[in-house]
Amino acid sequence: MARKEILDRIDKYVDPFRITNGKGFQLKDFDPGDTRGLRMEKGEAADLLQRGTEWLAEEQDMRYAQDRWSLLLVFQAMDAAGKDGTIKHVMSGVNPQGCQVLSFKQPSLEDLDHDFLWRYVKCLPERGRIGIFNRSYYEEVLVVRVHQHILKRQKLPPPLVSKRIWDERLFDIAHFEDYLTRQGTIILKFFLHVSRKEQKKRFMERLDRPDKHWKFSASDVHERKFWGDYMHALEEAIRATASQHAPWFVVPADNKWFARLLVAAAIVEAVERLDLAYPTVDAEKKKELQTLRAALSQEK
């Protein structure tokens, strides 16, 4: 099958979950258990994912060689939605040299002494590289919005803190993404959409299995009480920041195999659209390489 045909088929699966215009976006229109009617054995899903990651690895090698475009992948989710596993599986074939995963947790005192985008800007990927943000600047309009005492720690001058602060932040984020795009960064944002019910199931599993205890934190259970607030903040974020050049993907995450395939497909699709090729060299450079080759072959 030709590449174009494969891409068109992939797009059929990706398209329903891609938000390029946030107007009227509602999370309730998306089912966390959706698999587009696909049913797959574990092995079959793994095979397909491997093909996707090989494709991605090849594309990444070309982007690295070209040294022009960078790729920023943003992952947001409630706990236990599968961020870590998705990142691990989807990026498994990619040359680590051109790829960096950044996990953003509670800000440091130094972070709090700066504007809210500061710590994220420092970690943006170089040209030709992939930067994966495991949580991101979106936390500044999610956890910080849900728990407003966190905002107090950010030391903003009081006259600048008004009811409009969340709209202002979202506006700033949207413009920040416009700017990055114009600088050659491809931005894809993934919300791994797990249901509250599935989250409970995964927490219970973690509690029942000693080898998973390390993944468990009491605060994760506490945050469930704020589920509605988080979903509201997220809806507002998607409404304000989904765009053609920095789309959101609402990834159904109750089935891990589907979430992983969808994320891999969305990335492959986006980078394929760049239509990359390895950089070519001009005639002069070619001649130089031939001379070098001839000289090298004479050496013992």
Residues that bind ligand ATP (CB under 6 A): 79, 84, 103-107, 135, 139-140, 143-144, 150, 217
The H helix count followed by the E strand count for the chain is 13, 6
Residue 139 interacts with Mg ion (CB under 5 A): yes or no: no
Closer to ligand ATP by Cβ: residue 7 or 101: 101
**Measured at CB, which residue is nearest to ligand ATP?**
139
Q: How many CB atoms lie within 10 A of CB 159?
A: 6
Using the structure block, give the residue that is written with the tokens 């040294």: 67
* Minimum CB distance to Mg ion, residue 123 (Å): 19
* Minimum CB distance to ligand ATP, residue 227 (Å): 14
Q: Which does 140 bind (CB under 5 to 8 A by kind): Mg ion, ligand ATP, none?
A: ligand ATP
Q: Which does 143 bind (CB under 5 to 8 A by kind): Mg ion, ligand ATP, none?
A: ligand ATP
* Minimum CB distance to Mg ion, residue 222 (Å): 11
Rounded to whole angstroms, the Cα distance separating 48 from 69 reads: 26
Q: Which two tokens stand for residue 81?
A: 């939605």
* Minimum CB distance to Mg ion, residue 127 (Å): 32
Residue 18's H or E segment, with its range, is: strand 18-19
Of the candidate residues 79, 177, 198, 254, the single one contacting Mg ion (CB under 5 A) = 79
Identity of the amino acid at 116: F
Using the structure block, give the residue that is written with the tokens 């390895």: 278
CA torsion sign for 62, 192, 171, 131 is negative
Residues that bind Mg ion (CB under 5 A): 79
